[in-house]
A and B are shown apart, each in its own frame.
Chain A
């Protein structure tokens, strides 16, 4: 039954992946590349901008995953306590918002001449755009992390909440009757229940943060920028000789993703 779906996935995704790897080693009959060469990878390894970009990419992905995991779990616990369907609906409202739109909203709100800056200027707190903190286009990727956390926190919350809903409430009562405090109950009862869901959510958030192009393109600094943006720039370069670089960068990103998947599967099976 799953065969057709699997075939489509394997064909489209696997085929694309194979082509990417093949082109990353310089084999491209249309552009006249016939021999296998690792020149693109050597160029990447020697480029300090790529190293800075790798650090930024991993930093942004880790930070946004960590923050949305913490905030998302807290939100899920709050929603669980409040128990109102309407609140849950509100919390999930940002889920269908595309990242491009979310990034644009962040831009309109938080840029140095954005809405917030105008409010502070109107209140006399700042004299102009130059006084407002430069949250966006910064070399540390603060703007990118803010957008990702805003978008992904409700996503994490939703997955964790689903796990919490499945949790039998009486377990808490039993733990309490056995003398467990709040912290102990969280550790012994809640945590094991939400851990798998939280882990899944984290992997998904991290994988997205690793590969997103639109968010760092709109909110990131010119340099350093994330690997995905570097790949995009190399891919859209008018110099066709830079295509192998784009493909090599994409292969590196895919490798990072595969590593993550491997770690996830291992953690899952060792449980």
Chain B
């Protein structure tokens, strides 16, 4: 069984949090769990201040499963702490960032309308660069002791240092979805080259959401990794030479794929829900999912057919962490911290992992909670047709790269479309 690597390297081929899923508790971490840290006086004051507050939690609202998890699991647990969670759905996290930016522009330094944002990657970098986030709070949450702060997947977000200004909520890994009623497992393309060949044999049956959509970006970036000789070459800070070498291959790959795509590649679904609709209606044969629990939750809710299955490309797929952050001017910063702390609580993390609710990966390290918890984690992930073996996921995962590549792919796609 793999352990997390020493964390000083920025080598991308590591299995950041998924490995954590499999780590059996060491005596040391069991001891940590046995003696829970005494809540500090400062935290007690935060909890007191939070009592009675309503936390405006801005989060992407495009998934019913995720919304339901927050409404039926997180909100009732928060109510027990005297906290009301007001979930504010946005179609794009950038909208929440925009709102805070607008408030900063208007000189509103306190009493801001956004208390907590579900965030990662480029949005985090943008918000951090514009000085929109409260810093240095995440590591002092009581439940932060369950988080492996040494893991590069948590210490940095798309290559950008986190510095305690966001608290991890969960982890995800890219997987491909197919319909076993339409595509035989033996015919599945397991690389981008094979995907192009498959599309040539089955024209009009594949598409991806158009960048700037997150899923579209991530799909193209992974194609670029394969065409550019693997993700290792893209590790570390952005290098112009690497981009110049790899990007032409990406665009010529897309040129070849385009005529065989859905609607001849003249138009693309705008987002993941649209892609799921196309997939469920039988217009296309592939979709994507990021949940560690695979498509279990989506199949259970009837969003995807019972014949939907998940699989990976042979070279592996991107995995990452997603976080929550507090704006610098949040009106209910205390409540937001209590909520962020609650999101890390092992029982809530476990409920989130289950395919019955959301299927999202853990944000905490089970080894730091205790052996009993590690066993529960294994039980919660029902490996089967809808959920891949976490050991397989961990073996076939790599971290995402510097966000500048993401930006270049977005801009390049816009230029390529014409």
Compute how far the CA of A128 lies from the CA of B268 in the bound complex, rounded to whole angstroms.
Answer: 19
Kindly supply a per-residue 1/0 record for chain A positions 121-135, scoring 1 wherever the CB is within 8 Å of any chain B CB and 0 otherwise.
000000011100010
Compute how far the CA of A223 lies from the CA of B126 in the bound complex, rounded to whole angstroms.
Answer: 26
A236 touches B95 (CB 8 A): yes
Question: Hey, which chain A residues are within 8 Å of B125, CB to CB?
Answer: 238
Question: Hey, which chain B residues are within 8 Å of A206, CB to CB?
Answer: none
Chain B contact surface mostly: helix
Question: Hey, which chain B residues are within 8 Å of A52, CB to CB?
Answer: 418
A240 adjacent to chain B (CB < 8 Å): yes
Compute how far the CA of A31 lies from the CA of B105 in the bound complex, rounded to whole angstroms.
Answer: 9
- Say yes or no: A113-B281 contact (C-beta < 8 A), given A139-B266, A223-B417, A238-B94: yes
B270 touches A237 (CB 8 A): no
B266 touches A31 (CB 8 A): no
Interface residues on B, range: 20 to 34
Question: Hey, which chain A residues are within 8 Å of B350, CB to CB?
Answer: none
Interface residues on A, range: 20 to 34
Question: Hey, which chain A residues are within 8 Å of B104, CB to CB?
Answer: 30
- Say yes or no: A138-B267 contact (C-beta < 8 A), given A30-B104, A49-B418, A129-B283: yes
Identify B212's interface contact among A30, A221, A237, CB under 8 A: A237
Distance from A128 Cβ to chain B, minimum over Cβ atoms (Å): 7
A14 adjacent to chain B (CB < 8 Å): no
Identify B101's interface contact among A139, A223, A237, A240, CB under 8 A: A240
B68 adjacent to chain A (CB < 8 Å): no
Q: Nearest chain-A residue to B102 (Cβ)? A: A30
Among B97, B105, B129, the one with the most A-chain Cβ atoms within 10 Å of its Cβ is B105
Interface residues of B in 173-208 (CB under 8 A from A): 204
Q: Nearest chain-A residue to B90 (Cβ)? A: A236
Q: Nearest chain-A residue to B216 (Cβ)? A: A222
B282 touches A113 (CB 8 A): yes
B266 touches A221 (CB 8 A): yes
B86 adjacent to chain A (CB < 8 Å): no
Question: Hey, which chain A residues are within 8 Å of B129, CB to CB?
Answer: 240
Chain A residues in the interface with B (C-beta under 8 A)? 28-31, 48-49, 52, 111-113, 128-130, 134, 137-139, 217-218, 221-223, 233, 235-240
8 pairs of residues in contact across A and B, judged by CB atoms under 8 Å: A30-B101, A52-B418, A113-B282, A130-B204, A137-B267, A222-B270, A238-B125, A240-B101
